[in-house]
Every structure is written in C-alpha cells, then in structure tokens.
Amino acid sequence: MSERKPWVDLSARYGANGEYGAWKLVQEDYYWDRIDQAYEAARSLGAGPMGLGITTYRMIEAEWMTRRESEQVEVNDWLTIEWVASDAELPFEPIRDQILRSCKVVADEFDYEDTPKVLVTLLARAANAPWAPGRHGFCVDKYPYEKICIPSALTHDVADLDEVIRHEYAHVMTMNRSNGLVPIWLDEATAMVAGGGGHKPAYLSFASGEWPWRKPMELAQAFQENRESPIGRQVVWQAYQQSAAMGEYLEFLKGKDGLGRLLDGYTNNTLLCNLFIRLRGEEPSEEALNEVYDFGIEALFYRTHEWLSSRRSS
C-alpha cells in the first residue's frame, strides 16, 4: 500500500481534482477502520467535493466519538466487541452472549459456516443524534473485518438487540457468500427475513395498490432517497418493506436455507460459466435465481406481488 499523503498536498497540487483524491484517502482510512486518521482528514474536508461524502463523514464522526472512549474485547477467533461500558444498559456478559446467539441463529437457519472476522461496535450514546446515519444499525465491509455498528441504547432490551444483530449479521453473510454481488434489494430482503420479516400492514398497502410496487432499478434507487425528509423516509421505508416481502416469498418457496443457496449461486460458477454469463449480458442475480428457484428477476418481482395479492384476498 502506498504511503498516505496529507490532503492539503493533493488539493494544492491538483485543485478541485485534488479534493476528490483527498476524499479517497479519507475513505481508505475509513475502510481500514483507521478512525482517528479518517476523522482528522474528514474534518478538514467537510463533506467532500460537492457534498458527496456527507453520509460517510457522519459515519466516521459517530465511530470516532465511540473509538475515543471505547474498549475492545476479543470474544473468540472471529468476534470482537467494541463498547463504552458506561453507555451500555446491561453488563458485558449478557450483551456478548446475545450477540453470539443471534449470529448463531442466522448461521444455522441459512446454513452459513465460514464466518469472517467481525467487529461489533456499540456506538456511544453521544453518536445517537439526528444527524447520524443508520441510527438503528449498519454494517460496513471493512478490512481486516466486517464491522457492525449498533446504538448502545439497544442494550436495554435483549429482544431488540437480537433483532438488530440478526439483521446486520445477515449483511455480513450476504456480502461474503455472494462476494458482494447481490443487489441492494436482495441484500436487504435477506437481512429483513433474518431479522424477523417485514411489516405486515405494509404488504396490504402493496397488494391494494396504495403503495407503488417498484421495478428492480427503481427499488435500488429508492434506498438512496434523502432520509432527512419526510417523503424520503417514506420511500426508503417502502423499499425495505418491498424487499422484505420478496425475501419472505423466497423463504415461503424454499426456506431460509434456500436463500442461503441463492447467495452461494453468485460464486459457485466456473470461470467459463462466468464468461458466458458476461457475454450474454446477464446479471449475476438472474443466473443465481434461476439456479435455485427456476425463475429470474422479473418473475420474482411479479410473483411476489401476486403472492401478496392472493394473501390479501384469502
């Protein structure tokens, strides 16, 4: 890895282009979980060129506020927990045990064996602010581990902690089983199923036509809406619920282990097979769905909506 250069050098040398280069260095520090360095550089740059880094900036800020007060406890060969003891509402042992149980439930239900190293960070209470993204938890594909961040306030109730850990650990699973090839709607579909499913009244809104049933690209874009606005939050909420419905439909067909096989379908092809898929211009999800369920993306969206409608009328 090349030696890091101060952002001011890049900006002074390359002008606006240097700001993009400087923000790349911030991201490099962040994804290697060098939070102190990332925060120092990000604080100088703000939200990055044209405000494109605002979400990452806020994530860095929340993780930095935690890192400066936290301690890390190595639980076993794959799990480490970072926490601020004074911010947690339970002692360490029940928190640790619940995290282990939740991860094991996901691993067992989805037939997942090869867990990578994971750092679970209980974010400091000071970071639980309106400006913080992912206030209910988020997962980041970092090095040399996957990082799950959840608010310390969730430690007041092991049931809430269980649901969030199962959801976020499912993201760890989808990223690693599919080599990061799953679209966001299938990633969230799997995580929503792992976390207990969607909001059933929302399914009625889809079935009745009150809420739009989005196509794949529209659904992926819906997750990117501005969550600070009421309309944006509603669109994102609908995106999560539509994804949850599709996940539950796939679970209805072949169980959670079927969803696990679907994730494996992204990476179990030969090099020659992958070459043919690319030459045909086929999406990885199309091939993986057909391998496990004998239908593709368009059929999944159509059949899930029909399934919701049939349940509404029954």
What are the average pLDDT values for consecutive 10-residue runs of the chain, which has 314 residues? Answer: 44 43 84 94 71 76 94 97 95 96 98 95 86 78 95 89 96 95 96 95 94 97 88 95 98 97 90 71 88 97 96 72
**Rounded Cα gap, residues 120 and 93, in angstroms:** 14
**Predicted local confidence at residue 17, as pLDDT:** 40
Residue 174: is it exposed, middle or buried by C-beta count within 10 angstroms (0-12/13-18/19+)? Answer: buried
Question: What does pTM read for this prediction?
Answer: 0.89
Q: CB of 214 within 8 A of CB of 242?
A: yes
Q: CB of 78 within 8 A of CB of 117?
A: yes
Strand 118-123 to strand 146-151: parallel, antiparallel, or no bridges (unpaired)? Answer: parallel
**Predicted local confidence at residue 55, as pLDDT:** 76
**Predicted local confidence at residue 45, as pLDDT:** 75
**Predicted local confidence at residue 24, as pLDDT:** 83
- Structure tokens that stand for 56 in this block: 């990452």
**Predicted local confidence at residue 307, as pLDDT:** 97
Domain 71-177 bears CATH identifier 3.30.1330.30: no
**Predicted local confidence at residue 119, as pLDDT:** 98
Domain extents in the chain? 7-65, 71-177, 184-313
**Rounded Cα gap, residues 26 and 50, in angstroms:** 15
**Predicted local confidence at residue 2, as pLDDT:** 44
Nearest to 263 by CA among 249, 277, 247, 275: 247
